[in-house]
Amino acid sequence: MKIDDVPQDRGMIADQRREICYAVDEKGRYVLAESAGWEPKNIANSQAWDIIRDQVEKTIEDIEAGRLSPLAFHMVNNQMNVGLLAKYARLNRLRVRHHLKPAGFNRLKPNIRRRYAYIFGIDVEALSQIPTRS
């Protein structure tokens, strides 16, 4: 795409920030060009965030129903799966799955709680909390 054709469709990027993409200048060279967004990308991102919000909402429902532990909320809210969280925590996947159950989470040792809190960038106390639904 030519540098003059770089889309400037506002969407997910707020204020005056821009994303960088490649475009062809008047001499035929690839150069970096600023873009405010691109409508198809904005639509796809919006749909993806809708799915993520639905996953978070379902996870909160499962926690409130006693099927999952608060760890599940933090995992989904940070867009992680069991395998990724296990790698970050340096734990076996089965152990992480056990911690996703309320009984397993309630018996977590303090050093494992600190490890999870560090991964999510929160206090240890916040690890046991989930936001209230609106």
Looking at the fold, whether 106 and 76 belong to one and the same domain comes out as: yes
Helix-helix angle 39-64:70-77, to 10 degrees: 180
Looking at the fold, whether 59 and 17 belong to one and the same domain comes out as: no
Looking at the fold, whether 33 and 47 belong to one and the same domain comes out as: no
Q: What proportion of the chain, given as a percentage, has pLDDT over 90?
A: 61
Looking at the fold, whether 54 and 31 belong to one and the same domain comes out as: no
Taking the model in full, what pTM does it have? 0.75
pLDDT at 68 over 60: yes
Q: Is 133 contained in some domain? A: no
Q: Which two tokens stand for residue 112?
A: 């494992």
Domain that holds residue 56: 41-128
Looking at the fold, whether 51 and 71 belong to one and the same domain comes out as: yes
Q: Is 134 contained in some domain? A: no
Pair 78, 122: CB distance under 8 Å: no
Largest CA distance in the chain: 65
∠ CA 64-65-70, nearest 5°, is: 45
Pair 57, 73: CB distance under 8 Å: no
Looking at the fold, whether 58 and 105 belong to one and the same domain comes out as: yes
Average pLDDT over residues 78-89: 97
